[in-house]
């Protein structure tokens, strides 16, 4: 199975990079994980709604340019579907079989995702009603993917 995490911006903090690297190492036995980053746009303080929309569209165009035909796209959105970890594990397993094992998880920038990216999405998933920094969301997503593989294989993992 091939999993791509497609995200806006770079991880600046070492502690986030270390956590992601740990989960990348752990996931190596379950899947081929690829993390792709697209450039983020600077948002000036007090940006107008129109400027914020332009920024989302620019970032969205970069995201869409990295998605290939036939890939199953799962966007992370507050308004998305909520799942338990067990349901997420079943989703990974089912999608691997039905979609030839190619899942792209998309994490937007600080302003969220453009309408075009949301329209390209095959499934929108929400991890919480709360808003998380997109750097932290990358760590949370990696952990949940790892947890999902452990659950699917009946392997122990902390609860």
- pLDDT bracket for residue 148 (50, 70, 90): very high
Report the number of distinct structural domains present in the chain: 1
**Domain that residue 109 falls in:** 2-40+50-152
CA-angle at 142, arms to 8 and 6, nearest 5°:
25
> What pLDDT does 134 receive?
87
Q: What is the mean pLDDT of the chain?
A: 93
Closest CA to 43 of 107, 114, 110, 106: 110
Q: Report pTM.
A: 0.94
| CATH code of the domain covering residue 66 | 3.40.1280.10
> What pLDDT does 100 receive?
64
Q: What is the pLDDT of residues 24-77, one digit of tens each?
A: 999 999 999 999 999 999 999 999 999 999 999 999 999 999 999 889 999 999
How many CB atoms neighbour CB 31 within 10 A?
18
Closest CA to 76 of 15, 137, 34, 26: 137
Listing from the earlier edge strand, what are the strands of the sheet with 123-126?
32-38, 2-8, 102-107, 72-82, 123-126
Examine the pLDDT at 159 and tell me if it is beyond 80. Answer: no
Residue 100 CA from chain centroid, whole number: 19
Q: Is 45 among the domain residues?
A: no
Q: Is 123 among the domain residues?
A: yes
- pLDDT bracket for residue 131 (50, 70, 90): confident
Q: Is 158 among the domain residues?
A: no
Q: Is 28 among the domain residues?
A: yes
> What pLDDT does 98 receive?
79
- pLDDT bracket for residue 158 (50, 70, 90): low
Q: Is 124 among the domain residues?
A: yes
């Amino acid at each position: 199975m091939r999993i791509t995490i497609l995200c806006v911006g770079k991880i600046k903090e070492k502690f986030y990079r270390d956590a992601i690297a740990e989960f990348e190492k752990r996931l190596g036995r379950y899947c081929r994980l690829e993390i792709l980053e697209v450039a983020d746009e600077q948002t000036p303080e007090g940006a107008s709604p129109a400027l914020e929309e332009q920024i989302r569209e620019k970032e969205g165009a970069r995201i869409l340019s990295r998605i290939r035909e036939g890939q199953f796209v799962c966007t992370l959105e507050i308004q998305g579907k909520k799942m338990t970890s067990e349901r997420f594990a079943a989703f990974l397993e089912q999608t691997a079989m039905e979609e030839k094992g190619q899942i792209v998880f998309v994490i937007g920038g600080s302003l969220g995702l453009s309408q075009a990216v949301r329209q390209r999405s095959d499934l929108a998933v929400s991890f919480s009603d709360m808003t998380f920094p997109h750097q932290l969301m990358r760590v949370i997503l990696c952990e949940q993917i790892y947890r999902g593989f452990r659950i699917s294989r009946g392997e122990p993992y902390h609860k």
